[in-house]
Amino acid sequence: MATVKLIQVKEDILADNSQAATSLRGDLRRKGVFLLNLMAAPGAGKTSLIRETAAQLSKDLRLAVMEADIDSTVDAEALIQSGVHAIQLHTGGLCHLDAAMVRQGLAELDLSAWDAVILENVGNLVCPAEFDTGAVKSVAILSVPEGDDKPLKYPLMFQTVDAVVVNKTDYLSLAAFDLIAFGDRVRRLNPMVPIFEVSCRTGDGLKPWMDWFQSAVREWIRG
């Protein structure tokens, strides 16, 4: 079993979160490090997308991962076993991360060694969307078995992100998931947001996602 660096992160209940998030982004800008906040319901494919992204981009980008969970180190262990540099944050039962908690996690990484850090937020479609983590970009994953109605039920998640990934498209033939209706529902909330249809299992559709991610990192690093 891989040895995982585990950090208990604590909420700063006295801090103004949006101020803390803006200040964190400023620090990331000065250090030339990109931070992606990846959000989704449990099991939608966050760790799988991170693993695929790291596998395809690690020759071009120095990429580290912060896995956040209420408990367990399984995701960080799985990534380390795939050769990805990952640490594990525990939220002490909280279903979200705020900017102060993300800053505590980043302090455990030597930021001069990385171009980009991906944060896997706690699996939840509600709470994580309510907190600015200080990330440069936020992305929501929705997997096909969850259903195309989720933008109607969890609008904040789809409203606040910079990109949406529909994962597990290999299940489309088995599920009554209407990609057009889903896209319409998302764009009613977030008109310009790019939507990537992928399967982390088959690799289908991953190239446009990789291109988007890589250009977002490059743009940030160039300043």
Ligand X SMILES: Nc1nc2c(ncn2[C@@H]2O[C@H](COP(=O)(O)OP(=O)(O)OP(=O)(O)O)[C@@H](O)[C@H]2O)c(=O)[nH]1
Q: Which residues bind ligand X (CB under 6 A)?
A: 40, 42-48, 75, 123, 167-168, 170-171, 199-201
When asked if residue 96 is in the footprint of Mg ion (CB under 5 A), the reply is no
- Least distance (Å) from Mg ion to the CB of residue 75? 4
Q: What whole-number distance in Å separates Cα of residue 115 and Cα of residue 60? A: 10
Spatial separation of the C-alpha atoms in residues 210 and 56, rounded to whole Å: 8
Choosing among ligand X, Mg ion, none, which partner's interface includes residue 108 (Cβ < 5 to 8 Å by kind)? Answer: none
Of 115 and 197, nearer to ligand X (C-beta) is 197
- Sequence-distant contacts of 78-82: CB under 8 A, at least 24 apart: 78/47, 78/51, 79/47, 79/50, 79/51, 79/54, 80/2, 80/3, 80/4, 81/2, 82/51, 82/54, 82/55
For residues 139 and 49, the answer to whether their CB atoms sit within 8 Å is no
Nearest to 37 by CA among 71, 70, 65, 72: 65
- E strand or H helix that includes residue 117: strand 116-120
Residues 36-65 that bind Mg ion (CB under 5 A): 46-47
First to last CA, the chain: 39
How many H helices and E strands in the chain? 8, 8
Specify the residue, 127 or 179, whose C-beta has the smaller distance to Mg ion.
Answer: 127
x-marked contacts with Mg ion along 10-29 as a string, rule CB under 5 A: --------------------
Comparing every residue's Cβ against ligand X, the nearest one is 123
Q: Least distance from C-beta 51 to Mg ion, angstroms?
A: 10
Per-residue burial over 38-58, b if 16 or more Cβ lie within 10 Å, else e, is bbbbeebbbbbbbbbbbebbe
CB of 28 or CB of 76, closer to ligand X = 76
Beta strands per DSSP E along 134-194 = 137-143, 163-167
Smallest distance, Å, CB 83 to ligand X?
A: 16
Kindly state the smallest distance separating residue 93's Cβ from Mg ion, in Å. Answer: 17
Shortest separation between residue 45's beta carbon and Mg ion, angstroms: 8
Q: How far is the CB of 38 from ligand X (least distance, A)?
A: 9
Residue 54 contact, options ligand X, Mg ion, none, Cβ 5-8 Å cut-off depending on partner type: none
Single-letter amino acid code for the residue at 37:
N
Judged by CB under 5 A, which stretch of 24-32, 68-76, 124-132, 179-187 contacts Mg ion? Answer: 68-76
Nearer to Mg ion by Cβ, of 68 and 100: the residue is 68
**Residues interacting with Mg ion, by CB under 5 A?**
46-47, 75
